[in-house]
Structure formats: C-alpha cells, structure tokens
Amino acid sequence: MADSPSSDAEGPRHVALIMDGNGRWAKARGLPRALGHRAGVEALKRTVQAAPELGLTCLTVFGFSTENWRRPAAEVSELMGLVRNYVESDLDRLEREGVRLRIPGRREGLPDDIRAIVERAEARTAHNDRFLLQVAFNYGSRADIVDAARRFALSGEDPAILTEDRFERLLSTSDAPPVDLVVRTSGERRLSNFLMWEAAYAELLFQDVLWPDYGPDALAKAVEAFRTRERRFGGLEPTRQAG
Ligand code: FPP
C-alpha cells in the first residue's frame, strides 16, 4: 500500500534539495533578503552534517540557477559571495570528514575567482568517498542536457550507438548515484529546471518549512516520508532500482 509506513523500508541514499524560502524567511523578520540567504547557508551546514547519520550517501542542493541571474545585481553578488565563503570556510572540514564536493553547472559565466575556488575544492576532495555533496551552481537542467549533447557531438562517437547510460555520463552530475528523493521547501511545488533527467524516477516531497529553518529534524522527516513510498520504476512490483 502506497501510504503505509514501514520502519524497515529502505531510506533514500541520494536526496536533492531545492532550498526555497530564504526571501520569505527574511521578510517575515523585517530583514533584508541577504540575511535570509546567509541563514540559508547555516541551514545547509546543519543539513549536510546530519545527512550521513540518516543513511544518505549523497546530497545535491540547488545553490544558484541559470535563471537566478535575473535577480537584482546586489542579490546575485550576495549569492556569489556566499558560495565563495562556504567553500573557503568549510573545505578543510569537508575534506577531513571524507566528503567529496562537486559543483554541477556551467562554469562559463561564473566570476574567475569562483571558478578557481570550485575547481580547487573539487580537486582537493576528489579522493573522498564517504559522502558526495553536490552544490549545483549556475545550474539548469536544460542547459546541462544541452551541454551534454554538445560534448557528445564533439566526441566524434557514433550517434547510432548512443545509450541513456552513455548520455547520463556526460551530464555534470555524472558522479552521483540515482536521485531517490527531491525535496522542495517553502510550500512551492515546482521542479524549476532542477535535475529533470536525473529525477525521472525520484519521489517528490514538498515540505512546508522555509529553507533557513531546515535542518536535521526536517531531513529526518523527509527520510521517513520516503520510506512510506512504494517505488515501481514503471513495473508492477516494488523495487529499489529502475531496470
Ligand atoms: C531560494 O530562496 C534560494 C536561492 C535562490 C538560493 C539558495 C541559496 C542558499 C540557501 C544560500 C547558500 C548557497 C550556497 C551555494 C552556499 P528565495 O530567495 O527564492 O526565497 P523566496 O522565494 O522566499 O523569495
């Protein structure tokens, strides 16, 4: 039965988070939006810390979308500053704790210093395999699929033998296991161009919590909600994986 909870059902390994509601959190407190984003970084840190204890091996978060460039310049600059600070302040700890950091998304268009910071962070943590943290930045699923198609065209491989598996390896999220659960916070119910290929068989969950209030308890609730879902990947029987 789709809704019967079962505590020994498997939990998600890979959770993807659309961290929404920073602006509303700030507005409710009479604060500038920038402070909502800063509180959002603290929520991200708490959530990353709790994820392995809840059985996850991978977390993907939507840090900045290809559409976020439409925001006022000051807000764009604030978000750039936050990713810079986050990587610089947390890299040592993440490396020590066995976290591999990946930054899916388009590198073109990012300020040179951020590009350098994310490339260094990826290189420094490339050997880690305890946990994969993907911070999608300047990311949009359609752009990523187009970029993958471009890479394939440039590879000189025969299109007649292109498979889904091969194509998937050209996406900027290719190091991650399948997405089990996509969570969007703040009550909005959209995918907003996030992981549209990768989340083809993911469960979707919309949590009524503004992102800066997120943390271990909310993630634990998401994991519990996932356990109640029955996944069939297009077949008739419940199963763990597509195929
Ligand atoms: C949505 O809230 C959130 C974002 C556009 C950015 C998410 C960024 C963070 C949580 C900061 C940390 C990021 C990194 C990469 C370290 P919103 O501004 O759309 O909120 P609103 O819908 O309430 O206005």
Encode 45-104 in three state secondary structure: HHHHHHCHHHCCCEEEEEEEECCHHHCCHHHHHHHHHHHHHHHHHHHHHHHHCCEEEECC
Asked if residue 22 is part of any domain, the answer here is: yes
Cross-strand partners of 184: 18, 206
Beta carbons within 8 Å of 208's beta carbon, 6+ residues apart: 186, 187
pTM above 0.85, yes or no: yes
Q: How far apart are CA 54 and CA 11, in angstroms?
A: 8
Range of the domain at 188: 14-140+179-231
The CATH number of the domain where 38 resides is what? 3.40.1180.10
Cross-strand partners of 131: 99
Encode pLDDT of 35-84 as tens digits: 999 999 999 999 999 999 999 999 999 999 999 999 999 999 999 999 99
pLDDT at site 9: 85
User: Mean pLDDT score of the chain, rounded to an integer?
Assistant: 94
Number of residues written out for the chain: 243
Question: Residues 17-25: what's their mean pLDDT?
Answer: 98
Query: Does residue 63's CB lie within 6 angstroms of at least one atom of ligand 1?
Result: yes
Specify the residue with its C-alpha closest to ligand 1, atom 15: 63
Q: How far apart are CA 112 and CA 105, in angstroms?
A: 15
Could you tell me the distance, in angstroms and rounded to a whole number, from the CA of residue 162 to the centre of ligand 1? 36
| Mutation to probe ligand 1, out of 19, 62, 89 (largest number of atoms < 8 A from CB) | 19
Q: How far apart are CA 223 and CA 142, in angstroms?
A: 28
| Mutation to probe ligand 1, out of 22, 75, 101 (largest number of atoms < 8 A from CB) | 22
Query: Does residue 90's CB lie within 6 angstroms of at least one atom of ligand 1?
Result: no
Cross-strand partners of 18: 184
Asked if residue 165 is part of any domain, the answer here is: no
Residue 22 annotated to the active site: no
Asked if residue 127 is part of any domain, the answer here is: yes
Q: How far apart are CA 32 and CA 51, in angstroms?
A: 29
Query: Does residue 226's CB lie within 6 angstroms of at least one atom of ligand 1?
Result: no
> Residue 22, class by beta-carbon neighbours within 10 Å (0-12 exposed, 13-18 middle, 19+ buried)?
buried
Catalytic residue among 20, 90, 147, 180: 20
Query: Tokens standing for 166?
Result: 């091969």
Which atom from ligand 1 is nearest to the alpha carbon of 210?
A: 23
If residue 132 lies in a helix (H) or strand (E), which one and from where to where?
A: strand 131-139
Whether the CB-CB separation of 35 and 25 falls below 8 Å is answered with no
Does the CA dihedral 1-194-141-100 come out positive or negative? negative
Specify the residue with its C-alpha closest to ligand 1, atom 12: 41
Q: Is the pLDDT of residue 243 over 70?
A: no
Nearest to 200 by CA among 187, 208, 191: 191
Whether the CB-CB separation of 181 and 203 falls below 8 Å is answered with yes
Asked if residue 145 is part of any domain, the answer here is: no
Query: Does residue 211's CB lie within 6 angstroms of at least one atom of ligand 1?
Result: yes
Query: Does residue 34's CB lie within 6 angstroms of at least one atom of ligand 1?
Result: no
Question: Residues 2-11: what's their mean pLDDT?
Answer: 62
Asked if residue 3 is part of any domain, the answer here is: no
Whether the CB-CB separation of 218 and 240 falls below 8 Å is answered with no
Catalytic residue among 3, 8, 22, 68: 68
Query: Does residue 222's CB lie within 6 angstroms of at least one atom of ligand 1?
Result: no
Asked if residue 174 is part of any domain, the answer here is: no
Encode pLDDT of 113-168 as tens digits: 999 999 999 999 999 999 999 999 999 999 999 999 999 999 999 999 999 999 99
Sheet holding 131-139, edge to edge: 99-102, 131-139, 58-65, 14-18, 181-185, 203-207
Asked if residue 155 is part of any domain, the answer here is: no
pLDDT at site 7: 53
pLDDT at site 241: 64
Encode pLDDT of 183-232 as tens digits: 999 999 999 999 999 999 999 999 999 999 999 999 999 999 999 998 77
Which atom from ligand 1 is nearest to the alpha carbon of 87?
A: 16
pLDDT at site 3: 44
Query: Does residue 12's CB lie within 6 angstroms of at least one atom of ligand 1?
Result: no
Q: How many domains does the chain have?
A: 1
Asked if residue 76 is part of any domain, the answer here is: yes
